[in-house]
Structure 1
Amino acid sequence: MTVTAPPNRKPRAPHRVPLWDNARWLAIALVVVGHGILPLIADSDAAYAVYLFIYSFHVPVFVAVSGYMAKATSPGTRQIKRLLTDIVVPYVIFETIWTTIRWLLGGQFVLDYATASWTLWFLIALALWRVLLPYLAVLRYPLIITMAISVFAGYFAAIDATLALSRTIGLLPFFVFGWALRQRQITGRWLALPPRVIWRWRAGALALFLALAVTIAVFIEPLRDLKVRRFLLYDEPYPVIGYPEWWAGGIRLGLMIFAMVLAIAFLMLLPRKPTWFTALGGATMYIYLLHSFLLFPLRETGVLDGPQPWWVLPGMILLCLAIALLLSQRFIRRVFRPLVEPRVTWLFRREAPPASTPKETLHLPPPVAPPGPPAS
């Protein structure tokens, strides 16, 4: 017997995978930590080591998670509206706010939406990545192609921060990488593995991160001299960094491949089941857009400039984690929703209902009566 659902039953909400919500929150928390300790790295090798460790994988993970959530289908009206309301309009709002803040602090009031302020580059990049993905998805080897484009783009000084083009192209492979993980159903395969196999992979992932941390700590001075940090930002051409040689692209390629390996290792170490921070994964955009306002005074006042006591670094890490936790709360979403998720229904024209087409009337000849019985 087949049982059918009632016709008025509401559609189910899309199923969320706890693993990816866990990844979203931890990745954005690391973003906050990286921005928070930035003023310390000039005079502290310990801060620089932590910074390099985080930046070796946290931005690729954050971009890959965004790619995993993206769709490669041809955008319809609903997708286009979401692109505008979720990315474009918030970018205009927050860029205007930052311009106003700089003006209040004594600068000129110049609205330059082509040059993103501080963290806002990600919104431009995300919009462009979503637009490009349907075109990249029809290629046979989209990941390899985007990696080649990213490496090749680093040789051209014309590809700069205008419309975040340097980072958009440089980090594009990680967005495609995240999308490819979903296409290959990696999450389902990982979640289906038995615990004894899971812990073997996690042991390898943990060993990889420990080896990375030790390597950075031992070779911190050479890494500083080699300007590895600037390669990890993907926002400058190689000659500007100080590498005009033809082989400079190999450095970006090597770091890119290593970052993808680290991203996989990072995902392996995450809990597969819901945790206390799983529900906070839906607040990543609030954390990303609002944390810079809380860190701005520390960045601009110079209170963290120069040598600092040993406890400042762990103190800043804890402060940044507290900021990420604070900005994940529901009351923050309620207060700042008009800025982060504005409802701009007035921006779109109303779609007229489809006009009813009158049914065509067919004038058929009257039916012919069948012949009666033969006369007797």
Structure 2
Amino acid sequence: MGATSTSARPRVPLWDTTRFIAIALVVTGHAIQRLIADSDAALVTYLFIYAFHMPLFAIISGYFSKPGPPNERQMRRVITDIVLPYFIFETIWTAVQAIVEGNWTLNPTRPSWTLWFLLALGIFRLVLPYLALVRWPLVWSIALSVGVGYFGNVDSTFSLSRAIGILPFFVLGWKLHEWGVVDRWRLADPPTAIVRSIAVVVLAAWLAVLIAFIDVWRAIDLRFWFFYEDSYRDLGQDEWWAGLVRLGLIALAALLSAAVLVLVPRRPIAITPFGQATMYVYLLHSFVLYPIRESGVIGGDERSDWPWLVALVAFSLLLTIALASSPVRRLFRPLVEPRPRWLFRPDLDARTGPLRIQPSRTDPTGSRRDPER
């Protein structure tokens, strides 16, 4: 499975803008996490974001993926775009935690903080060619996601539980591309006022439900359900119907993602170009937020009210833009897009072409990038 062709097809601004929105929500969710224990407003914002932001990311990743067996060039890209960045950043995080927290445990099988999604992308690439062989692959992926929650031995090792948990959204994105939904339903064109109004109502209704029942959501620790990581028993629900809860959350995430896609502007806007650098933001933002979160600057009764929440949301947006900027990409490209020619057999260049040292035209999600000038 590889990225889509980088031929001269016109770009669809919808995807780049949506990718920026998704990664900005990731940064925001991580930034405000320390506030949610003492602030209902922060918890509402957090739950609103976590209900759909990673499913939306997985849908976009699946949309730009191909189901066929990978060739040598595509397999080499998996190593350079997923495997090597994972080990580079996992090593860095191990060193940081050893110095700051005194935790000298090196365990690359347990991804640190945000790195789980890199492993999930790798798992998606492995299983998609097989899912594409069977009938009703979307149904099977939903069954796997719901079913894995009943098994406590499937945990965060190699990010397996979370990868299986959000697999349906990746498969949904791939099927949307296979069905030609964007072209057939003209989704790249501005939707009608009625459709936009329905999308606003859907998002507003979810927000209203969160606000009205925030004490319930806090009591049952709803946020952990949105991680797609723990078994139902670990979530405190070992009844047979626990899988139906996850099924409902999958449907909710798909509905909210669809609503967001409806409301995303179809024409290029100021943030659209930054949507081509989401992997830089994803891998780097945690190093900015870590000292802020761990220093105690945010959180506590006196630093959990509305001004702190608004300030952190604004800071997250600015941080997302900064980390997606050209200077940051040039500085950290050796870490995010490593190109070690020494690692590969020399004869591969003759069959697949030389390894590109310049910026990659696609990121690990398969989305095309415009060449930098």
What is the TM-score of this pair, normalised by structure 2?
0.89
Once the two structures are superposed, what CA deviation does each residue of 1:15-74 show, in whole Å capped at 9, x if it has no partner? Answer: 432111111111000000001000000110000000111111111101111111111111
Shift in Å at residue 236 of structure 1?
0.4
Distance 1:210 1:83, change over 3 A: same
| Pair 1:290-2:284 in alignment | yes
Q: Residue 171 of structure 1 aligns with which residue?
A: 166
Paired position in structure 1 for 2:118: 123
Q: Does 1:59 align with 2:64?
A: no
Cα distance in 2 between the residues matched to 1:340 and 1:28: 16
**2:181 touches 2:187 (CA, 8 Å); kept in 1?**
no
Equivalent residue runs for 1:328-367 within 5 Å: 328-351=324-347
User: 1:160 & 1:148 partners in 2: Cα distance?
Assistant: 17
Distance in 1 of aligned mates of 2:151 and 2:188: 45
How far, CA to CA, are the matches of 1:75 and 1:216 in structure 2?
43
Once residues 316 and 188 of structure 1 are traced to their aligned partners in structure 2, the CA distance between those partners, rounded to angstroms, is 38
The answer for the alignment partner of 1:71 in structure 2 is 66
Q: Which letter maps to 2:311?
A: G
Output the CA distance in 2 between the equivalents of 1:43 and 1:61.
28
* 8 A Cα contact 1:60 1:260, kept in partner: yes
In the alignment, is the contact (CA less than 8 A) between 1:191 and 1:272 conserved in 2?
no
Deviation, 1:111, is 2.3
Does 2:296 match 1:302?
yes
Matching residue within 285, 308, 313 for 1:312: 308
Q: What does 1:178-189 correspond to in 2, within 5 Å? A: 178-189=173-184
Question: 2:148 and 2:266 mapped to 1: Cα distance?
Answer: 37
CA distance in 2, matches of 1:56, 1:108: 32
Q: Partner letter of residue 281 of structure 1? A: G
Is 1:90 aligned to residue 114 of structure 2?
A: no
Normalised by the length of structure 1, the TM-score is: 0.88
Which amino acid letter does the alignment assign opposite residue 341 of structure 2?
T
* Pair 1:113-2:108 in alignment: yes
1:251 to 217, 233, 245: 245
Paired position in structure 2 for 1:204? 198
Among 41, 51, 56, the alignment partner of 2:36 is 41
Farther off after superposition, 207-216 or 331-340: 207-216
Corresponding residue for residue 370 of structure 1: none
> CA separation in 1, counterparts of 2:186 and 2:16?
14
Match of 1:223 among 214, 217, 224: 217
Partner SS for 2:186: helix
By how many angstroms is 1:254 displaced?
0.4
**Residue pair 2:84, 2:338 contacting (<8 A) in 1 also:** yes
- Report the AA paired with residue 230 of structure 1: F
**Corresponding letter in the other structure for 2:226:** L
Amino acid aligned to 2:176: L
Residues 13 and 93 from structure 1, CA distance in 2 versus in 1: closer, same or farther, beyond 3 angstroms? Answer: farther
AA matched with 2:102? G
Shift of 1:265: 1.2
> What SS is found at the alignment partner of 1:239?
coil
Q: Could you say what the CA RMSD is over the residues aligned between the two structures, in angstroms? A: 1.6
Residue of structure 1 equivalent to 2:367: none
Report the secondary structure of 1:245's partner residue. Answer: coil
Which amino acid counterpart does residue 78 of structure 1 have in structure 2? R
**Displacement after TM superposition at 1:289 (Å):** 0.2
Unaligned runs of 5+ in 1: 1-10, 355-376
**CA drift at 1:199:** 2.2
The percent identity for this pair of structures is 48
**Secondary structure of 2:192's partner?**
helix
What is the DSSP-based 3-state SS (H/G/I as helix, E as strand, rest coil) of the residue aligned with 1:304? Answer: coil
Matches of 2:249 and 2:213 in 1, distance apart?
16
CA distance in 1, matches of 2:340, 2:18: 30
The letter of the residue matching 2:88 is I
Which one has the largest radius of gyration? 1
Q: Which residue of 2 aligns with 1:373?
A: none
Residues matched between the structures, number: 343
Shift of 1:138: 1.4
Structure 1 stretch displaced more, 108-117 or 240-249? 108-117
Q: Which residue of 2 aligns with 1:157?
A: 152
Letter in 2 for 1:199: A
Cα distance per residue 1:144-188 (max 9 Å; x no partner): 111011111101110111111110111111110111111111112
- Look up the match of 2:318: 322
2:41 is the alignment partner of 1:30 = no
Please give the per-residue CA displacement for 1:102-147, whole angstroms capped at 9, x wherever unaligned.
1222524332110000000011111010111111111110111110
1:285-337 superposed Cα distances (whole Å, 9 cap, x missing partner)? 00000000000012211222311243000001001111001001001100000
Contact kept in structure 1, 2:63 and 2:177, CA below 8 Å: yes
Q: For 2:129 and 2:340, locate their aligned partners in 1 and report how far apart those are by CA, in whole Å.
A: 26
Instruction: Show the counterpart of 1:367.
Output: none
| Alpha-carbon distance in 2 for matches of 1:121, 1:173 | 17
The answer as to whether partners of 1:153 and 1:170 remain within 8 angstroms in 2 is: yes
Q: Which amino acid aligns with 1:183?
A: E
Distance 1:264 1:81 in 2: 33
1:83, 1:350 → 2: CA distance?
Answer: 18
Q: What is the one-letter code of the residue matched to 2:228?
A: Y
Aligned 8 A contact 2:55 2:253 in 1: yes
Q: Distance in 2 between matches of 1:148 and 1:301?
A: 42
> For 1:35 and 1:193, how far apart are their aligned partners in 2?
31
